[in-house]
Structure 1
Amino acid sequence: MTQLAAVLVTGGSRGIGAAICRQLAAQGYPVAVNYTSRADAAEAVVSDIKAAGGQAVAVGGDVADPAAVAAMFTAAEAALGPIGGLVNNAGLIGTAARVEKQTPADLERLFAVNVFGTIYCAQEAVRRMSTAQGGQGGSIVNVSSVAARLGGLNGVVPYAATKGAVESFSKGLSNEVAREGIRVNVVAPGMTATDMTTPEMREQAQRSGIPMGRVGEAEEIAQAVLWLISPASSYVTGTVVTVSGGR
């Protein structure tokens, strides 16, 4: 049986990221579980994976820091072998406030993590996976949101703007690296039940009209990511897969 290449999942210690890590590992992928501050939560995910017979390692690093990004890729490869997949899942929802009340500091941090962090991690992945640079190819999946298309809920409009940027970046990057063995796609979840979304936010989303009448579960989002990482989607790049209950 061919050994699957390792996958690095940013923000893998909780919520959708943790579900992605567990499902990838269950399919035989060695997984690097990235975290920024919650080492205990990341180690818990790693322990779950190892207990189920999988291979995983926790790697700390703030995706908004290019040096930390390079270090976490190096640590992941030292533990698991060459990286063949990246899931850019780490993200902030930002401060809940109308646009005119958002502070420059809050906006800068939001864009630093959600946009620049996605770009920094993708840069590092391309350097390591591109066949034009000696790599073996691979798959990058960036996690966006239906907010990129819908404009976001009241109070978190800047978050929607960051996800619009992620989708534009993903399409452009997919074009650049398509002939270098790298596929780049996006998963755009709708409202999902995680600790990043409050009950009020979920209620507001449901009132806005989710055709299926419910919010999503982290495991449902993870299934779409798993497909895009896997060879089953070998002819898919530059695409946004929406997982939103019909929104």
Structure 2
Amino acid sequence: MARRFIALVLALILWQLCAQLSGSVLFPTPLACLEAAQLEIQDGILWSNAKASLMRIGVGYALACVVGVVLGALSGISGGWGAGVRDVLEVLRPIPPIAWVPISILWFGLGDSSAWFVVFLGAFFPIFIQVSHAFSNCPKEYLDVAQSYRASSWQTFWWVRLPAAATDIAQALRVGLGIAWTSVIAAELVGVRQGLGDRIQQLRYVSDYERMIVCMIVIGALGWLMIFAANQLERRLISWKS
């Protein structure tokens, strides 16, 4: 903890020095950004935009988790056709979430639905692919033991396949969460109204660089908090794996 605090202080000092040396309004000082943050908080603008972004990622990510895990598990235990589905989705996975934004706006307009769609796609592909691989690569000796005890398909899934894939599922959900957060910000930057990304665009038009940096710091802080919470939850839920 002490090292992290020292690193943070050193980063702020370096930021202050660089801002003073540049002497440009394009590179505001930490103090100027702190004052801008106070104004954003007092006006309620920062909270309302952060809330909009968090609500969007909540809906899109939840859908991606449910659909990605269920379909990933089904494709992983189904053999041939599951591998075919994975191959098709592997072609779509490299498409950046931001590339789906124009299509999502055409289909759903500028409201929350288009943001949900982009977040869903951003999180779905890594979740589905990793979960599918996890279930398809269940150790054969585990399955042989289950078969020797004449376990049913459901018992094998619940007591063998699922525990064996638990770590990979948790990792997939964590990766999907990070991509979902960047996806919603990207969607807001290029067209979806309200949210932290849209707020940055509004501030860019009026050249308010201090508040822009404040929004960027909030985006990073919220993303870090989400990943931290996901890590803590993973450790608690699957601590038995160690």
* TM-score, shorter chain, exceeding 0.5: no
TM range (shorter): under 0.3
| TM-score for both structures, normalised by structure 2 | 0.27
| TM-score for both structures, normalised by structure 1 | 0.26
Question: Larger % of helix: which?
Answer: 2
Question: Larger % of strand: which?
Answer: 1
Where relative contact order (Cα < 8 A, 6+ residues apart) is larger, the structure is 2
